[in-house]
Amino acid sequence: MYEIRFHGRGGQGAVMAAQSLADAAVRSGFHAQAFPYFGAERRGAPVQAYARIDTKKVRTKSQVYNPDLLVIMDESLSELADIAAGLKPDGRVVMNTTKRPEEVDLGKGVDAVCGTVDASALALEVLKMPVVNTSMLGALARVWDVVPLESIVEAIEDRFGEKLGTRAGILNGEAARTAYDSTIIGRTLGRKEYGKLAEWAPAWNEIPIGNSLRSETRDGVAVGPASSSQNLTGRWKWSTPRYDREKCIRCLRCWWSCPDSAVIRLDDDYMRWDMDHCKGCGICADICPVNAIEMVQGAHTW
């Protein structure tokens, strides 16, 4: 049985990727399953999805702890946690990054066959949006030849076509083919030491007096009351709000609707943005009645 673990961020389409891979495997004569594991239900938060593929019926229902293949859809996730935990000795990796495989370090001893692809740039070029799931599936086919690219493209065209329309299905298939051709194959570096992983929440005697509660989850997210300022959610963003002060009528809607309190109200009721914590969800731009906020592609700090 082959086990695949997808690591992504909410909004990148990790779940659709796992489902499409399972669908492609079935088209190639395998049995397969796919399911997600969500942490915080937020755009940009770390998520995992799993797929299992076998020549016989798949009965295991657990999360994937010892993957044959690791799909890392956002490079920053590899800085936060021991992402390659449990990877089988002959396991493979595919990663969305501008780096070459020999520059990818997933922790001490992880010397794995690795395919790297700049899936974010490719998705922007082909799909005009930073949704990398189909590009990652194309790269996956290059790194790991169990499920052929043609079956993956067929599954993508059908699934995405049904959900988003025929044209979107074809474009996503094209993203997969382009990623397949662009993927660089090599081996990971295997030198980095990760710190000890903390439990979900601190014990009472671990909380410093006078400090906010703080802990690290396996995904490196601080939890506990008043911990939100410790999570630099601004690193998650793919698009950035641009504020036009001249258009602003100071209605305050953006200020109270931002889920990360990243819109800061000034004394005169104009706004400024905390880019360390703005995750680029676009809610402020959607809610602004006079289009004083425009979402611009990319992570900017203006």
Q: Which residues contact ligand SF4 by CB under 6 A?
A: 241, 248-254, 258, 260, 262-263, 271, 273, 278-284, 287-288, 290, 292-293
In whole angstroms, how close is the CB of 13 to ligand SF4 at the nearest point? 19
What stretches of 183-275 show up as alpha helix (H) in DSSP? 253-257
Nearer to ligand SF4, 2 or 236 (CB): 236
Q: Which is nearer to ligand SF4, 171 or 285 (CB)?
A: 285
Q: Least Å distance between CB 297 and ligand SF4?
A: 13
**128 or 272: whose CB is closer to ligand SF4?**
272
CA distance 240 to 259: 15
Least distance CB 173 / ligand SF4 (angstroms): 31
Shortest Cβ distance from residue 275 to ligand SF4 (Å)? Answer: 8
In one-letter notation, the amino acid at residue 265 is R
Q: Between 46 and 169, whose beta carbon lies closer to ligand SF4?
A: 46
Q: Which is nearer to ligand SF4, 87 or 278 (CB)?
A: 278
Least distance in Å: CB of 264 to ligand SF4?
9
* Structure token digits, residue 38: 């969500």
Q: Residue-wise over 196-231: b if at least 16 C-beta within 10 A, else e?
A: eebeeebeeeeeeeeeeebbbbbbbbbbbeeeeeeb
Least spacing, CB of residue 76 vs ligand SF4, in Å = 17
Whichever of 204 and 302 has its CB closer to ligand SF4, that residue is 302
CA distance 22 to 29: 11
Q: Which of 3, 63, 10 is nearest to 237 (CA)?
A: 10
CB of 268 to ligand SF4, least distance (A): 11
Strand intervals (E) in the chain: 2-9, 31-38, 46-54, 69-72, 92-96, 113-117, 184-187, 239-243, 263-265, 271-273, 293-297
Q: How far apart are CA 217 and CA 37, in angstroms?
A: 14
Residue 148 in tokens: 């052929």
Phi, psi of 51 (to 5 degrees): -140, 145
Cβ closest to ligand SF4, residue 221 vs residue 284: 284
